[in-house]
Amino acid sequence: MAEGEEESRKVSSLRGGEDNVDIKVRVISVEPPKTIHTQRGDRTISEAIVGDETGRVKLTAWGKQAGKLEEGQAVELKGAWTTVYRGQVQLNIGSRGSIEKIEDSEVPRPEDIPETTPKAETAPGQGRGGFRRSYGRRPGGGRRSGPQARARKEERRKERRASNRSP
């Protein structure tokens, strides 16, 4: 390994909510691209199962990355991110990331990849889900407006009132 070069991640070390993940994997299976409807409009995705010597994980390729993977390929994903869906960690790759073919010998053969998948360690609702990258701003004005946000806001009001009353 060259000086300054970081070792690629392993599937078993993936956790929900990570950004800028670089990982070398074998494509075990791949689905054809499809169009889905999201809050940001129609999006093209393709889903695949990828893995290394530590396990396997579902990968969603978004936009121009959809359809680039072929079953059996050895690839390095750069700039991927992770989400959690139903307690399972999932990998995602989009326009800010890249998919590069690597030497076949750098990852195990499909039959040597264990069936294990990384489990989410975050509580439900804490991992990012779907395509929700906001890069600092929330769509619709940047404010949270759900019942939890309203409850937190009310709690802060009560705390301020209580602190204003004390001498």
CA 68 from centre of chain:
18
Q: What local confidence, expressed as pLDDT, does residue 7 receive?
A: 66
Domains delineated in the chain: 11-112 (2.40.50.140)
Task: Say if CB 123 and CB 93 are below 8 A apart.
Answer: no
Which residues of the chain are under the pLDDT cut of 70? 1-7, 122-146, 166-167
Burial of 42 (0-12, 13-18, 19+ CB in 10 A): exposed
CA distance 150 to 144: 8
- % the chain with pLDDT above 70: 80
Residue 55: other Cβ atoms inside 10 A? 18
Bin 12: left if φ > 0, else alpha if -120 < ψ < 50, else beta: alpha
Closest to 75 (Cα-Cα) out of 6, 18, 8: 8
Q: Kindly report, residue by residue over 103-139, the tens digit of the pLDDT.
A: 999 999 999 999 988 888 754 444 444 444 444 444 4
